[in-house]
Amino acid sequence: MFRAAHLLYDDSPKVFEDPYAFDLLGSQSRVFLKVRPLFRLFEALYPIRSARGQVLVRARFAEDRLQAAIARNVRQYVILGAGLDSYALRAAVTDPRLRVFELDRGDRKEKAARVRELGRGVAADVHYVEIDFETGSLLPRLGSDFEPSQPTFFSWLGLMHYMERTTVLRTLQQISGCAAPGSEMVFDYAEPSETSGRTAEGNQVESGMRRQGEPLQSYFSIDEFSRWATTEGWRVAEHLTANEQRAKYLAGRVDRLDVLDGFSLAALERPAS
């Protein structure tokens, strides 16, 4: 919904353009979003503008890094927690040689059917994988179509902070086990409140998620990821705090899009041997 609202209501230039976002929504959400006064009232009542900006900026960050990886001849893209991601539709035209693996909980047949419908049967080489990150093993679930000897781009957005630390670290370890030299991984994470500079809006969003039964469970620092990366043969290629995200993606905007303080973006690269 946030990606669709951006195209409908926010100023240009767009932070992230997803022409399929609206059509991937359910019918009730599409009706809600099309009624502009209703959506603006919702925005006025709830602090979602920074959360909207967060979704857009992290998607832009990931796909900018992905395009650079494709230019280096990376041909596998693994999306952890794919949800209603639309890259398989957009890649059918822009990156037809890319093999996409969408991983998420639950039956993925409905998403696959929707993508086929919207793409009129044309989509990237996409594989839908059901997995429970708390119990599943990554490499066996990816199956025989995944080539662990080839460089891969991994994207893990909007999910890590809702998981227990043990699950996060175990999943990172599994990604590392699948990542050949030349691979890259991007993710967002929540910083500890005592060091994050989280604002009242950020605290309100966090409280709202807790009330919805999705509390934030894991907090990390870039120093922790840097130490882990060094041990596992990665290096930190890029890291953006909230203020750095604003400077890179939101500078000069008049539509008041923002990001949430206390949430950072990181890209790790495994150098080619």
Residue that wins the pLDDT comparison between 8 and 208: 8
8 A C-beta contact, residue 167 and residue 134: yes
Average pLDDT over residues 76-102: 91
Would you state the pLDDT for residue 76? 96
The pLDDT tens digits of the residues spanning 117-175 come to 888 766 678 999 999 998 889 999 999 999 999 999 999 999 999 999 999 999 999 99
CA angle 118, 121, 126 (to 5 degrees): 90
Picking from 16, 12, 13, the residue whose alpha carbon sits closest to that of residue 4 is 16
Rounded distance, CA 225 to CA 268, Å? 9
Would you state the pLDDT for residue 94? 79
pLDDT over 70 at 203, yes or no: no
CA-to-CA dists, residue 205 to 22, 209, 259, 271, angstroms: 24, 6, 12, 37
For domain 47-269, is the CATH number 3.40.50.150?
yes
pLDDT over 60 at 198, yes or no: no
Percentage, residues of the chain above pLDDT 70: 90
Please compute, for residue 31, the number of CA atoms within 13 A of its CA located in the half-sphere on the CB side: 3
Domain-wise residue ranges, the chain: 1-45, 47-269
CA angle 60, 125, 185 (to 5 degrees): 40
Would you state the pLDDT for residue 148? 95
Long-range CB contacts (< 8 A, 24+ apart) of 19-23?
19/86, 19/90, 20/86, 20/89, 20/90, 20/118, 21/84, 21/86, 23/118
Would you state the pLDDT for residue 93? 75
Residues contacting residue 122 through CB under 8 Å, at least 6 positions apart? 92
8 A C-beta contact, residue 81 and residue 101: no
Would you state the pLDDT for residue 211? 65
The residues with which 235 forms a beta bridge, in sequence order, are 269
The pLDDT tens digits of the residues spanning 27-38 come to 999 999 999 898
Average pLDDT over residues 63-76: 96
Would you state the pLDDT for residue 192? 86
Largest CA distance in the chain: 55
Handedness of CA 86, 128, 70, 182 (dihedral sign): positive
8 A C-beta contact, residue 205 and residue 52: no
Percentage, residues of the chain above pLDDT 90: 68
Would you state the pLDDT for residue 199? 59
8 A C-beta contact, residue 85 and residue 102: yes
Please compute, for residue 53, the number of CA atoms within 13 A of its CA located in the half-sphere on the CB side: 25
Mean pLDDT (the chain, rounded): 90
DSSP state of 246: I
Rounded distance, CA 237 to CA 182, Å? 12
Would you state the pLDDT for residue 206? 65
Would you state the pLDDT for residue 123? 64
Helix (H) or strand (E) run with residue 38 in it: helix 36-45
pLDDT over 70 at 7, yes or no: yes
Would you state the pLDDT for residue 95? 85
Would you state the pLDDT for residue 196? 53
Would you state the pLDDT for residue 8? 94
pLDDT over 70 at 39, yes or no: yes
